[in-house]
Structure 1
Amino acid sequence: MKGQIQLHEVDFAYPARLDAMIFKGFSINTDAKKSTTLVGHSGSSKSTINGLIKRFYDPLKGIVKLDGKDIKIFHLRVLRKHIALVHQEPILFVAGFKKLVQFGMTRPSRIRLNVGRNESQTHDFISGLKHGYDTWCAGKGVQLSGGQRQCIAIARAILKNAAVLLLDEATSALDSRSEVVVQEALERLMVGQTCVENCDSIAVVDKGKVVEKGTHASLLAKGPSGAYYSLVSLQRGPNPSTPT
């Protein structure tokens, strides 16, 4: 599995709201072993794209392809074996922390486990618990902070070593220092994976359409008339070209 993703002429509405179309003729391509960031205002349906790739839903029309093949031809277990997903609000099960970190690995490996511990910031806080990795995690990880839950979810994705890595604002619950450390770790470990986040190219999504696509520099060069320039301006102030 190489990890090339293509959504072609996709129409989609959620089953409970078939009258409210999310996408109409939506198309986007992501090359294998490359990364694409999807940006847009809140509610621009970026997370819906992840759901379609994972096949939580099927499009009403159009096709979602993985390596040039309709994802519907894959058994769901096989498809999801090759895709790792980190949500904004990760779900943790009632289990020991070692089991939680290894969850999703086909063949748990001590070497891969050590890599996941060191590269995702999970190791320090888990080791500091009374029973370390043998500590029991309560339902939904209620004894953990949002950032700690997110670190475990990121570690699971790293250890799965899937061809496709989907990050849905995966560092949103981390403080600024932790976010930088985790982001650097993800960038080192994303080599050889297709990642829809941070980023060889940027796709700006608005009202169910890709309205701009390019690199950070090329999109900023469009100036105030550009959709991406406007989004960055909201975060950085009147001069979005200034590094932060």
Structure 2
Amino acid sequence: MARFKENDLPKSKITLSALQKATLIFQYSGKHRWKFYVGLLFLLLTGGTALAFPKLMGLLVDCVKNKDNAQANFIALILVGILFMQSIFSFFRLSLFVNFTENTLANLRLALYSNLVKLPMSFFSQKRVGELNSRISSDISQIQDTLTSTIAEFLRQFILIVGGIALLATESFKLTLLMLSVVPLVAVAAVIFGRFIRGYSKKVQDKVAESQVIVEETMQGISIVKAFANEWYEIARYKTQIKEVIQIAIKGGKYRGYFASFIIFCLFGAIVAVVWYGVQLSISGEMSVGQLISFVLYSTFVGASFGGIAELYAQIQKAIGATERVFELLDETPEKIEGTSTHQSIEKIKGNVSFKNVAFQYPSRKEMKVLKDVSFTAQFGQKIAIVGPSGAGKSTIASLLLRFYSIAEGSIEIDHKNISDYDLEQLRGNMSIVPQDVILFGGTIRENIAYGKPNATEEEILAAAQQANAYNFIESFPEKLDTLVGERGVKLSGGQRQRIAIARALLKNPSILILDEATSSLDSESEKLVQEALEILMEGRTSIIIAHRLSTIRSADQILVLDKGVIAEQGTHQELIALDNGIYKNLSNLQFSNS
């Protein structure tokens, strides 16, 4: 897959409303805003001193005609002084803009991340992680470059164009008219042509990236390639892509040749034309040689600025587009989370759960009801198992209990109180989930267990590990609790990850426990250890067990059989087995006959 490049960032039209939206970024500058304004002052001083340079160079050259050595020394000293001042102004301009930008963007990043983390699950179900990552990385980087240098450079080029043209007119009005009719047009044409060339370079890069995908896929699936004896097929596929790369690259090379010819002839031709006409005016006595030198330098400033300002304008357009996309995320409404840093203040709930005529459809699939008129009750300390075929709505019940989504009809109550009346942190702070696909964070085992209770002591962490049957394998590692688990826990086996997740849940000591097919992907030995740990975990709390393997739920107080979003059957294992031609009985016969 072609990697995301900064050049691919979409641009936004620079309108008054877009500019107003972009200036909202200053809200995040806080006490650092003054640095931006002082930086602008130094920018003006940098531009002003730069404009004085060509004029003084012309006066210095004219000292040859006047044979005025003292005057030459004086002007040379002023030029050195101007260079010294420019160095100081540039240093403060850059350091102030960087300081302002880094502090502002740190606040913006924090605000964006804080808002993202607090957004509801319905938002994440409709957005790709890569897209959200791009907001925090590519879009913020684009804003960073713009605030640090692009705006300053754009304003500096603008000052040089306006000031340069004004000072050109004071040197020679006739020559200024010639320069304005030739040099800016050639400079702008060079920019447009240059952008076209870069477009071709990008096509080559994209084609190379496409060919690289073939290499990656082949290497990753080399066993399949060899098993099917398809080496020649893959070579032919790669060869086709390489031929396309060659064709586009050669065509791009021709355009680069045209571009080089254009630059040599037109741009330098325009400078020759201006100098030639200036020499004619000097010969006729309308301007001095020093004035001609000043004019040529000013022309170079103006031409270069015309060429550069178009690219800078495009960068500013990208930055405005990036700012709009960042603020779109900041405008998303987060969940109401109180934000306490510890779990100490969370009030305990008992754990009586009641679903009353619950109906639900996902926001992204509103036409399809996942649950229809679901009602059941789980008393404190009971084990309620939910079984059924894939897509029946089992995991949806867990999501609704955690209030990841709002229900369309009916109500869910905990301890005879509607879950929407609970503070989210209190509600979720009293629940733990052990999922089928355990997600661990890329730190140590200690950090992952303590995620259930960030202020837990060493003794509490070790006690949770022992109860979860995780202590023995943790002790077998050289670093013990300080063992790094790797990204998403890849350095641990499935059973080890599952037991870490159980230890995490135990440490949290929830009132309501949700087990989402917690043993379905484990081998027999791991399943036995995990099942033992789960039995300890389920003691003294309400447990909602979403099960795939029916052998794990025989002792459940109540089993709900979900089918097509409705509870088709309900009862204990013995009651459901007794139902003739029942769904549970058929599932049970199917599983146990295969085992």
TM-score (ref. length: structure 1): 0.91
Unaligned runs of 5+ in 2: 1-348, 546-552
- Give yes or no for contact 2:570–2:576 (8 Å, CA) kept in 1: yes
Deviations 1:47-81 (A, max 9, x none): 11000000111111211111111111111111111
Decide which structure has greater strand share. Answer: 1
1:220 to 565, 577, 583: 577
Could you tell me how far apart the structure 2 residues matched to 1:172 and 1:147 are? 11
1:181 aligns with 2:538: no
TM-score normalised to structure 2 length: 0.39
Task: Measure, in 2, the Cα distance between the counterparts of 1:24 and 1:45.
Answer: 10
CA displacement, residues 174-210 of structure 1 (integer Å, 9 cap, x when unaligned): 2212212221232233221000124111111111111
Deviation, 1:5, is 0.9
- Kindly indicate whether residue 566 of structure 2 is the aligned counterpart of residue 209 of structure 1: yes
What is the rounded CA distance, in whole Å, between the counterparts of 2:544 and 2:374 in structure 1? Answer: 16
Counterpart in 2 of 1:61?
409
1:39 aligns with 2:395: no
After TM superposition, which residue ranges in structure 1, 4 or more long, deviate above 4 angstroms? none
Task: State the alpha-carbon separation in 2 of the partners of residues 226 and 102 from structure 1.
Answer: 43
Q: Secondary structure at the match of 2:369?
A: coil
SS of 1:64's partner is: strand
Query: Structure 1 residue 16 and structure 2 residue 364: aligned?
Result: yes
Q: 1:160 aligns with which of 499, 508, 512?
A: 508
How large is the RMSD of aligned CA atoms in angstroms? Answer: 1.7
Conserved in 1, the CA contact under 8 Å of 2:446 and 2:461?
A: no
Find the structure with the greater CA-based Rg.
2
Moved more, 119-128 or 153-162: 119-128
> Which residue of the other structure, out of 346, 350, 355, is the alignment partner of 1:2?
350
Q: CA deviation at 1:104?
A: 1.5
Pairwise mapping of residues 137-148 of structure 1 onto structure 2 (< 5 A)? 137-148=485-496
Structure 1, residues 151-175: CA drift from partner, whole Å, max 9, x if none?
A: 1111111121100000001122322
Tell me which of 150, 153, 166 is aligned to 2:498. Answer: 150
CA contact (8 A) 1:100 1:152 kept: yes
Structure 1 residues 46-55 or 137-146, which shifts more?
Answer: 137-146
Q: 1:196 aligns with which of 511, 536, 544?
A: 544
Change (3 A) 1:185 1:142: closer
- Secondary structure of the 1:137 match is coil
Task: Give the counterpart letter for 2:576 in structure 1.
Answer: L
Distance in structure 1 (CA, Å) of the matches to 2:367 and 2:557: 35
Match of 1:237?
A: 593
Report how many residues are paired. 238
Contact 1:106 1:160 (C-alpha < 8 Å) held by counterparts: no
Distance 1:119 1:138 in 2: 24
Which residue of structure 2 lines up, in the alignment, with residue 112 of structure 1? 460
Alpha-carbon distance in structure 1 between the residues aligned to 2:531 and 2:364 = 36
Kept in 1, the 8 Å contact 2:502–2:537? The answer is: no
Q: Which amino acid aligns with 1:217?
A: Q
> What corresponds to 1:124 in structure 2?
472
1:4-37: CA deviation from partner (whole Å, max 9, x where unpaired): 1111111111111111111122212111111111
Do the aligned residues in 1 keep the contact of 2:357 with 2:372 (CA within 8 Å)?
Answer: yes
Using CA pairs under 8 Å that are at least 6 residues apart, name the structure with larger relative contact order, 1 or 2: 1
**Match of 1:136, SS?**
coil
Structure holding more helix per residue = 2
Query: Percent sequence identity over matched residues?
Result: 40
Instruction: State the match for 1:100 in structure 2.
Output: 448
3-state secondary structure, aligned to 2:380 = coil
Q: Which residue of 2 aligns with 1:241?
A: none
